[in-house]
Structure 1
């Protein structure tokens, strides 16, 4: 079971501050709901089991975007469909923005995701989730419309946390590592 990180946790405050600053100063995005969603996405994916939380009908963990989309499309449960599409949007945004160097592994020649364009699928999945979600529909639609800009913003947030980690921990920390 996945455990949520408390709103008062220092990591959430760090991600929120870096995301707000980066999105406002570098991208000119001052939408608190969008920025908050992206900051919370980073915090939600800290426990790695959250990244892989979508399961098929037999309870097996789905690790490929194509399988996650198939799960969304095969269910008659609208809430599960929305959750799967939202997760595909989150998953593709996270990897495209934060760790694009990992995409070549996800899209290896022997992977079902070999021909998937993560940006296009993320945009589509956020759009589909927005049509099924009354509460977060507007922010999910905005993520669909501005997927590339948000992915770029996440790459800038990563740069900031790496700079912060280097300044806080010294040069002994490996690149890409978050304390």
Structure 2
């Protein structure tokens, strides 16, 4: 279990727990991880933390994946690959579950927005890559990333449910007269 460090964490944890554990049967470990990830992305500078050589934010999924490659891309090491892939998995999950307006619905569009299929593919793959770093200091947390990869679509659904529930809580329906 991760240490609570952000003031919004209890709020996000409750919202995520209701959908993840209550409705979808996901583990408390996944609930804790995702609520911590939401806190991370609540800080705007963390949403596009990957930067290119000129210091500009990398916003396209394919450029993020390229940046994670220590052989053909710009990652300086395999440890950097793990860190970048963790971020990509988190980013894909956050975007798909919490920001549907940032997703392209037409796969044939020339839009710069990713499709849901792209986010699922890259998110699952990224968490899988992170799960393969399963020795030394990463041994204990590697299985969690394997679980995240395996239930990625459920995690997206759970975030969408949490988002809807939060929206309803702050925008209750008008009373019927």
Same fold (TM over 0.5): yes
Bigger mean CA deviation after superposition, 44-53 or 75-84: 75-84
Matches within 5 A, 1:22-171: 22-29=19-26, 31-73=27-69, 74=73, 75-104=75-104, 109-111=110-112, 117-132=118-133, 133-167=138-172
SS in 2 for 1:45: helix
Matches within 5 A, 1:7-26: 7=5, 9=7, 11-26=8-23
Looking at structure 2, the residues matched to 68 and 103 of structure 1 have their Cα atoms a distance apart, in angstroms, of: 16
- Report how far residue 135 of structure 1 moved: 4.3
Classify 1:23/1:113 alpha carbon distance in 2 versus 1 (closer, same or farther; 3 Å): closer
Is the CA contact 1:7–1:13 (under 8 Å) kept in the aligned structure 2? no
Looking at structure 2, the residues matched to 124 and 139 of structure 1 have their Cα atoms a distance apart, in angstroms, of: 14
- For structure 1, the 5+ residue unaligned runs are 1-5, 172-179
Looking at structure 1, the residues matched to 168 and 43 of structure 2 have their Cα atoms a distance apart, in angstroms, of: 22
Classify 1:166/1:86 alpha carbon distance in 2 versus 1 (closer, same or farther; 3 Å): same
TM-score by length of 1: 0.80
Looking at structure 2, the residues matched to 56 and 71 of structure 1 have their Cα atoms a distance apart, in angstroms, of: 8
- How many residue pairs end up in the alignment? 161
Looking at structure 1, the residues matched to 47 and 77 of structure 2 have their Cα atoms a distance apart, in angstroms, of: 21
- Report how far residue 7 of structure 1 moved: 2.5
Is the CA contact 2:127–2:145 (under 8 Å) kept in the aligned structure 1? yes
Classify 1:72/1:60 alpha carbon distance in 2 versus 1 (closer, same or farther; 3 Å): same
Is the CA contact 2:124–2:149 (under 8 Å) kept in the aligned structure 1? yes
Is the CA contact 1:97–1:154 (under 8 Å) kept in the aligned structure 2? yes
SS in 1 for 2:42: coil
Q: Which runs of 4+ in 1 moved over 2 A?
A: 56-60, 110-116, 132-136
- For structure 2, the 5+ residue unaligned runs are none
- Report how far residue 36 of structure 1 moved: 0.4
